[in-house]
Structure formats: structure tokens, C-alpha cells
Amino acid sequence: MPCEKQRMILIDGKKTALTLLEELAAEVSEAVLGGRRPPGLAVILAGEDPASQIYVRNKEKACGESGIVSLAYRLPAAVSQDDLLTLIEACNARPDVDGILLQLPLPPQLDAQTCLLAIDPAKDVDGFHPENVGRLSIGLPGFLPCTPAGVMELLKRYDLSPAGKKAVVVGRSNIVGKPLAILLSRPDPYANATVTICHSRTTDLAAECRAADFLFLAVGKPGFATADMLKEGAVVIDVGISRTPQGLKGDANFESVSRKAAAVTPVPGGVGPMTIAMLLKNTVRSWKERITCK
Ligand code: GUN
């Protein structure tokens, strides 16, 4: 009898993120009913980048739904580096702020590395401070960057383990590609992969992708990955998100890869919602550490 192709798993990041937010909201509400202060997240947005404004609004909305107090600081695009650093210092010092998020990109007169370095690593819920990046790279506890952490959470919650398998990460950004490759190669049950990082100078990208049991796409080129670049039965995690005249699109051509993949994340509704959920998870973790220290 010809064997039937297994149904493809649609990895629903929206639903998974909602479950996570409900779990966080339950934890927060129990502690607050018990007399604890709620968690606090300072969200700093400098300038009027339209995409950043949407991200920040979504983060504030998710905070509200989980019982986290969001302190929004909307600064003019011409804000000076000194004024921004003064605000970050004030947030570092505030006992009711457990997490600080500095939305990127920053206006051109501001140096992102200097500003990120000013954030207290113990409140760096984005996981961008060099101390947390260093901790990640040598396997010490610290805050993990939210998008790669969200990807790892999806693998775990869908019981898709890359252990012993070949994982290919396309994209080498500091925010996604590099930290994701490190997390995938960690000695954890839902990691332990053999990882290849591909980038713009990779000689034969299609051949690298075809070798992958788990393919992670994070370059922001809408629809570039198609079925001919895929191994039959591969897991495709699409981290790319681009605004196109046809709406938000991922790096995978969803229709095409769905013919061959065992599991795929859609765009929108895949990795995106998980990023916000992991930000709030980091904030709640920071809050718990702070309220239990007192
Ligand atoms: N800009 C785009 N993605 C992110 C993110 O995850 N965190 C911050 N701070 N800025 C971003």
C-alpha cells in the first residue's frame, strides 16, 4: 500500500503565546492578591518609526492583559544620548521597574550599544546587554533574547526536538541568528542539534537548506525559501517578517514549503506573538527574583 503523507503540523504561535500569557497572568494575579506589588516593565521608544510604534503598542497591550504595569516613555526623535541615558539610569534605580525595554532601531544620533550597556543586566529583559549575551554563550543563567527564546519554547511545546539532527539557521543577526544557533547547540533535551549558520556569503544556500532537518529562516526576504530548498519532512521555523503590498510575509513561501515540510510556523501568527510572550515571561521572572529577595 502506498504510504500516505503525514498531515503537516501548523505551529500555532498565537495560541501558544496566549497560553503562556494566561500562565503568567495567573502567577501575577495570585501574588498580587497575596499583597505583592505587580511586575513593572519600562518601555522606551525614541522617535516615530511606524513598525516600532506597532511593536510597542502590542507589548503594552500584552502587559495590560497579564497584570504587568507598563511604564511607557515616548521620547522625541531628536532626544539626546545624555537624556536617554539619564532615563535609563532612573529606570535602573526604580524599585517598581523589573524590566527595561529599549525599542530598536534608535534614531541615528543615538548609539545603540552605549544605551544597551547602560541598562542594568538584572533588568535587561530583552537579553541584549553584553553581560547577558556572554552568559548565553557560556551557558550561565541570564535573560535570553525573546525571539530565539520564543522559537525554543515552540519546539518544546510542540515536542519537536532537534536533538542529534541537523539544524540550519539562515541569518546571523545579533538579535536572532547568532543567539538561536547557540541555543540550538546547547546540551538541552530540546536542543543538542548540529548547527550550521548560513548568511549572504554562503556558497550554496539551497544545498545547505536541503540538508536541514530543522530549518530556521531569519533574513527578512519575503518568500525566498521554497519546497525545492527543503528536505522532505523538515521542520521550518520562519522568523522573517516583512511588510509587502500583499500583507505581512515570512521568509518562506508558505504554500510551497507546506508541500514538503512536516511542520511549519505561519507568518503572521507563528514566531511573532511568541517574542512578546517571552518578553513578559522574562519580566515576570525578574519580578519574582526581586520580590522574593525583599
Ligand atoms: N526591534 C525589533 N525587534 C525588537 C526586539 O525584540 N526588542 C527591541 N528592544 N527592539 C526590537
All structural domains of the chain, each given as residue ranges with its CATH number in brackets, are 36-123 (3.40.50.10860), 146-272 (3.40.50.720)
Annotation marks residue 81 as catalytic: no
E strands in 118-277: 166-170, 194-198, 214-217, 235-238, 242-244, 247-249, 263-264
Asked about 126 being catalytic, the answer comes back as: yes
Put simply, whether the predicted model's pTM sits higher than 0.85 gets the answer yes
Start-to-end CA distance of the chain, whole Å, equals 66
Residue 105 Cα: closest atom of ligand 1: 1
For ligand 1, the distance from its centroid to the CA atom of residue 7, given in whole angstroms, is 34
Per-residue pLDDT of the chain (294 residues; tens, 9 = 90+): 565 667 899 999 999 999 999 999 999 999 999 999 999 999 999 999 999 999 999 999 999 999 999 999 999 999 999 999 999 999 999 999 999 999 999 999 999 999 999 999 999 999 999 999 999 999 999 999 999 999 999 999 999 999 999 999 999 999 999 999 999 999 999 999 999 999 999 999 999 999 999 999 999 999 999 999 999 999 999 999 999 999 999 999 999 999 999 999 999 999 999 999 999 999 999 999 999 875
- Grid coordinates in use for 206? 539551497
Residue with CA closest to ligand 1 atom 3 = 104
Q: How far is the CA of 253 from the centre of ligand 1 (A)?
A: 24
Task: Establish whether 124 is a catalytic residue.
Answer: no
How many angstroms separate the alpha carbon of residue 236 from the centre of ligand 1? 22
Residue among 12, 98, 124, 126 flagged as catalytic: 126
Residue nearest to ligand 1 atom 9, measured at CA: 103
